Amino acid sequence: MKMSQMRAGTNAAPGVPIHRVRSQLDDYLCARGHSLESIYQEMEMDSRYVDTHDDVSHSDATVCLHSHTFYELLYCCGGNLQYLLDTRRYRLQQGDIVYIPPNTSHRALFLDQLVEPYARCVLWISPAYAQLLADAFPGELLLPEQPFVLRTASTPWQEQLGGLFRRGVQESYDQGPGWQTCVCGNTMQLLVEMMRARAGDHTLRPKAEKQELLDRLLIYIENHLHEKITLADTARRFLISESSINQLFRRRMKVSFYRFVTQRRLIAAKVLLQEGLPAEEISARVGFGDYSSFYRAFKREYGISPAEYRRSACTAGPGGRWTEP
């Protein structure tokens, strides 16, 4: 579902962020068989090149593990939370930038109680725009393949990069003459400044949180997606009870152990669908016992069939990446 569809469905006035009409959005989604919990799984870009908006989540908001076919950049404006990128957790603070390439599994991990709402500026970049930049500026603007967090707090980069994120959002809301051109140009400048920030100061790269049981479980799941994963086998391997594992996932990930495993399998399946592999082969490669189980799980999680997803994903086009400094 596109942001413009949600705005139209909630009758949000021009310039009003969609998160400010959250109750109307919930009613609109429910009437169409969607939910706020799963909507992040189904988001599509409006623009061929760049979309930007701001968003706010509260402690009672649940965002499942998900991925996108486009690049996503988040500028953290407030909130006390951790963020999961693949199997690494980061504790976010104001001024942090989260960079998420296509097909990267990610989600916010809220702590027991948010001190303040999780507010962020959101920037989506299509693979088509990434390729356009790579072709226009060879070797200069190639977007990275790996996710990362950039910490700008207490540095000159915080005001500069934060200002570029906010400017893009404001242009998108105001929609003055030439606003889409302005958003694309603003995004290009933002990417250049991010590249310079990362290359010039290694202190801007925060380390992932120290590994604990949850992290070891996530890595285990990641490394065994193609195999049969059971709660009983996992409990024996980690010398912990099955109920303890389930309680840990429900407390930290807001889903059961099996639901998380399924979500991670489906994200891996989406990548293979984009690559053109037969759906029956994909279901086996990501650990489903049979194709019918894979089909039902995919349709339940995303609201569309694997074939429908493949058709929509194939329109995304190739991506580009910048080289790591």
The predicted pLDDT at position 63 comes to 72
306-325 average pLDDT score:
62
Give yes or no for residue 16 having a pLDDT over 90.
no
Which ranges of 41-126 does DSSP label H, i.e. alpha helix?
none
Better-predicted residue by pLDDT, 145 or 114: 145
Assigned superfamily of 44-204: Regulatory protein AraC (2.60.120.280)
With cut-offs at 50, 70 and 90, classify the pLDDT of residue 314: low
Q: What is the DSSP string of 4-52?
A: HHHHHHHTPPTT--GGGGHHHHHHHHHHTT--TTTGGGS-B-SSSSEEE
Angle at which helix 22-31 crosses helix 3-10, to 10 degrees, equals 100
pLDDT at position 56 is: 85
Of 112-121, 132-141, 294-303, the range with the lowest mean pLDDT is 112-121
Residue 37 in this model has a pLDDT that exceeds 60 = no
Please tell me if the domain spanning 44-204 has the same topology as the one spanning 213-313.
no
Rounded to whole angstroms, the Cα distance separating 87 from 224 reads 13
pTM (predicted TM-score): 0.86
Determine the pLDDT at residue 297. Answer: 93
String of b and e for 190-201 (b: at least 16 CB within 10 Å)?
A: bbbebbebbeee
Q: What is the 8-class DSSP label of residue 79?
A: -
The residue among 214, 255, 252 whose CA lies nearest residue 37 is 255
Whether 26 has a pLDDT exceeding 80, the answer reads no
Q: Is pLDDT at 31 greater than 70 in this prediction?
A: no
Instruction: Compute the residue count for the chain.
Output: 325
Mean predicted lDDT score pLDDT of the chain: 85
What would the CATH number be for the domain defined by 213-313? 1.10.10.60
Mean pLDDT in residue range 194-218: 89
Q: How far is CA 169 from CA 52, 100, 215, in A?
A: 5, 18, 34
Contacts of residue 212, defined as CB under 8 A and 6 or more positions apart, other chains included, come to none
In 10 A of CB 121, how many CB atoms?
Answer: 22
The pLDDT assigned to 323 comes to 44
pLDDT band with cut points at 50, 70 and 90 for residue 55:
confident
The number of CA neighbours under 13 Å toward the Cβ of 169 is: 19
Provide mean pLDDT across the span 28-34: 59
Average pLDDT over residues 188-209: 88
Domain spans of the chain, in order of start: 44-204, 213-313
The amino acid at residue 98 is: V
* 275-306 per-position pLDDT tens digit: 999 999 999 999 998 999 999 999 888 888 99
Q: What is the mean pLDDT of residues 49-75?
A: 86
pLDDT range class, residue 122, cuts 50, 70, 90: very high
pLDDT bucket at 160, cuts 50 / 70 / 90: very high
* pLDDT at position 324: 44
The closest alpha carbon to 11, from 30, 35, 27, 32, belongs to: 27
Q: What angle do CA 109, 122, 10 make, to 5 degrees?
A: 95
Instruction: Give the pLDDT confidence score for residue 325 in this predicted structure.
Output: 41
Q: Which residues pair with 88 in a beta bridge?
A: 85
pLDDT at 273: 93
Q: Which ranges of the chain does DSSP label H, i.e. alpha helix?
A: 3-10, 22-31, 127-136, 156-174, 179-200, 213-223, 231-238, 242-252, 257-274, 279-285, 291-302, 306-313
Structure tokens at 186: 């603003």
Q: How far apart are CA 27 and CA 104, in angstroms?
A: 29
**Residue 105 in this model has a pLDDT that exceeds 90:** yes
Structure tokens at 17: 């962020």
Lowest mean pLDDT among 20-29, 129-138, 178-187, 290-299: 20-29
Q: Helix H segments across 55-96?
A: none
